[in-house]
Amino acid sequence: MPVAEAKVTPRLKTLYYEEIQPQLIKQFKYSSAMEAPRLTKITLNMGVGEAKTEAKLLDAAMDELTQIAGQRAQLRRARTSIAGFKIRTGMPVGTKVTLRGARMYEFLDRLVSIALPRIRDFRGLNPRSFDGRGNYSIGLREQIIFPEIDYDDVAQIRGLDVTITTSAKTDEEARALLAGLGLPFATEGDQQ
């Protein structure tokens, strides 16, 4: 008979409800705590263009993304044919993971405290990468910045897209939320 594990609340989730949410309510003068922006989901996406010729690269990308996220990666297939890239509808082109709940907070905590400081010549995240609806996208050039990936086992360096979806209505509210959660935004004059 399996033993039930004790539920542990992620550190960032506790921080959000105890400090960040009251601060946002005060800063933006919300009438209810439910109006305060919060994280909805985090989507990780890894495109593997070479998968059309080598299936092993796609398997390696799926394994790496699964290790990074702590959740099984999904295979993504091409929706349309693109003759210039020699892609047909239904061919595998990448992997994707959508994180919600405790895994989302745990991943964001690892991203902010461990992975981002390991980027070479890191000057902060681009403050203009918001989409106008309160969502933020980060493009990472190397998957090896995550400690879960063993550098010796990596056959090829691949990029990774991280999209943080929030319930914020404006970019200003989302920036205040993400800065409170610890994302290191660069100042406007100090871009990469």
152-161 pLDDT, tens digit per residue, is 777 778 888 9
Residue 88: per-residue pLDDT: 81
Across 54-63, 74-83, 174-183, the highest mean pLDDT is recorded for 174-183
Indicate the pTM of the whole model: 0.86
Euclidean distance between CA atoms 127 and 187, whole angstroms: 8
Among the ranges given (30-39, 142-151, 155-164), the one the predictor scored with the smallest mean pLDDT: 142-151
d(CA 171, CA 128): 9
Checking if the pLDDT of 21 tops 90, the result is yes
pLDDT value for 190: 54
CB burial of 171-182 (b: ≥16 within 10 Å; e: otherwise) equals bebbbbbbebbe
- If you average pLDDT over residues 185-192, what whole number do you get? 67
Q: What is the Cα–Cα distance from 182 to 177, expressed in whole angstroms?
A: 9
